[in-house]
Amino acid sequence: MRREFKLPDVGEGLTEAEIVRWHVAVGDQVKVNQIIVEIETAKAVVELPCPFEGVVAALMAEEGQTIDVGLPIIAVDDGTGPPEAASGGGAGGGAQPEARTAALADDMVPSAPAPQKEERQPVLVGYGVKMGTTKRRPRKGDSSAPRGASAQAPAVAPPAEAPPRPAAPAAPAPRAPGVLAKPPVRKLAKDLGVDLASIAGSGPHGTVTRDDVHAAVSAPPAVTPVAARPAGGEERIPVKGVRRATAQAMMASAFSAPHVTEFLQVDMTGTMEAVRKLRATPDFAEVKVSPLLLVAKALLVAARRHPMINSTWDESAQEIVVKHYVNLGIAAATPRGLIVPNVKDAHALPLVELARAMNALVETARAGRTQPADMSGGTITITNVGVFGVDTGTPIINPGESAILAFGQIRDLPWVVDGQIVARKICTLALSFDHRVIDGEVGSKVLRDVGDILEDPLRALAWS
């Protein structure tokens, strides 16, 4: 029986998604819960498992194509022939959708699996809804050979179709035009910024291998692309998926919430010393410790002391919702755009667990595997612009929240300590907040608390 898998809503009311990469091709055997495709929604790249077991009969969407939720994207033959024969041999109306789907499969991959071809052939070549399927099955056991002339016309078709059958293993080639590569190799090429189409594969049938990708990275840069690029030309980048959702969210936030941004220069020398000591602590031996961890801890302590900073504006109810838990968002720049996954209940985590959660969150984001659930429910956000060598900025509040803290780069600068000018580790913080919810006094106190803790991390113990 041919079964179709329709694109599900993997987020909160999403209406469409883009097919990023197929993990299977027509003719492949698939199992239940096997990952078959990666899709990009307005929130994240998501891997979809197959709900059926059988042979892939058709891929109904191409990579790069945007599909509405509810439309079929793949057809799988589960091998249960009789039910299909029963449904296809009834009224003519029931046979027509099967014919259309079969035609689509044949257009995409000429050498479709023989059992499916055998069942659909009478419809495609004009035999209509004649009960040909019930006569074809006995022919597999040769028991139908002595039948009359009416059965022999279709009986000639299987031998004609049999020779192309060995060509079925070559079907994976069309799934990525001109390129054969396994999913791990494709991911490696994506991570290294290598265009698979530019590589001559050394594997079987021209398959691109890991060694081919690494060789392409170490090869001298090609001059041809630069020469072929016209001076003063233009490039158009489609705005879709995560990038489009981010653009819409930022515009809505900027023009609906009255932003105020305050700045504070902080002596981070004490924080850097604390980071050094934590790295030498056995509990943190296998955990990455960075200054961002202590910035996060400082913000969590400040939010506990000033709960209004961790609240949101409810427009429909005309209420301010103060949240006594913190889902701490960490803005992450990815090749597909800016995303803000969050650490759930960050306020309740010990420092070492907070470090593990933040590291896992960032690694997942960079790998493009952040799920929509990881980006929902955030209450306050940190954006680390310092990693780009930037001192500070005026960050836009993440929709649904009321504040965002920008953490700038840490630089050696002259600083006055006890009346003497000395070199210190200096950083600039910027706190943007929604002035409908947070008064200037509250915003200033929160920023000052964060600065005080970073200058003297022991304050985090005193105020916890």
pLDDT tens column, 33-56: 999 998 887 667 788 999 989 999
Pick the CATH number of 241-463 from 3.40.50.2300, 3.30.559.10, 3.90.1010.10, 3.30.1330.10: 3.30.559.10
Residue range 100-113: mean pLDDT, rounded: 40
Task: Provide the CB-side half-sphere exposure for 388 (13 A, CA).
Answer: 11
Q: Average the pLDDT over each of 74-83, 97-106, 405-414 and give the range with the smallest value.
A: 97-106
Model confidence at 115, in pLDDT bands (50, 70, 90)?
A: very low
The single-letter DSSP state of residue 270 is H
Of 214, 259, 306, 435, the catalytic one is 435
What is the model's pLDDT at position 121? 37
d(CA 382, CA 391): 15
d(CA 262, CA 44): 31
What is the model's pLDDT at position 148? 41
Instruction: Please provide the average confidence, as pLDDT, over all residues in the chain.
Output: 78
Domain 178-220, what fold? Dihydrolipoamide Transferase (4.10.320)
Residue range 96-111: mean pLDDT, rounded: 40
d(CA 429, CA 18): 37
Read off the pLDDT of residues 87-96 as tens digits, 9 standing for 90 and up: 333 333 343 4
Model confidence at 12, in pLDDT bands (50, 70, 90)?
A: low
Task: Provide the CB-side half-sphere exposure for 402 (13 A, CA).
Answer: 26
Model confidence at 292, in pLDDT bands (50, 70, 90)?
A: very high
What is the model's pLDDT at position 203? 78
Q: Average the pLDDT over each of 234-243, 254-263, 327-336 and give the range with the smallest value.
A: 234-243
Following DSSP, what letter does each residue of 204-249 receive, concatenated? Answer: GGG-B-HHHHHHHHHSPPPSHHHHHSPTT--------HHHHHHHHH
Beta-bridged to residue 320, according to DSSP, are 313
Catalytic residue status for 435: yes
Residue range 223-230: mean pLDDT, rounded: 49
Top-confidence residue, 430 or 203: 430
What is the model's pLDDT at position 217? 66
Spell out the long-range contacts of 125-128 with Cβ–Cβ below 8 A and sequence spacing 24 or more. Answer: 125/157, 127/154, 128/92
Residue range 148-175: mean pLDDT, rounded: 42
Q: Which of 185, 167, 168 is nearest to 176 (CA)?
A: 185
What is the model's pLDDT at position 253? 85
Tokens of 37: 């495709």
The CA-atom distances, in angstroms, between 194 and each of 149, 221, 237, 272 are 59, 11, 19, 37
d(CA 432, CA 414): 27
Read off the pLDDT of residues 300-340 as tens digits, 9 standing for 90 and up: 999 999 999 999 999 889 999 999 999 999 998 887 778 89
Residue 455 has pLDDT above 90, yes or no: yes
Tell me what percent of the residues of the chain surpass a pLDDT of 90: 46
* Domain ranges (residues) in the chain: 2-166, 178-220, 241-463
- CATH classification (class only), 2-166: mainly beta
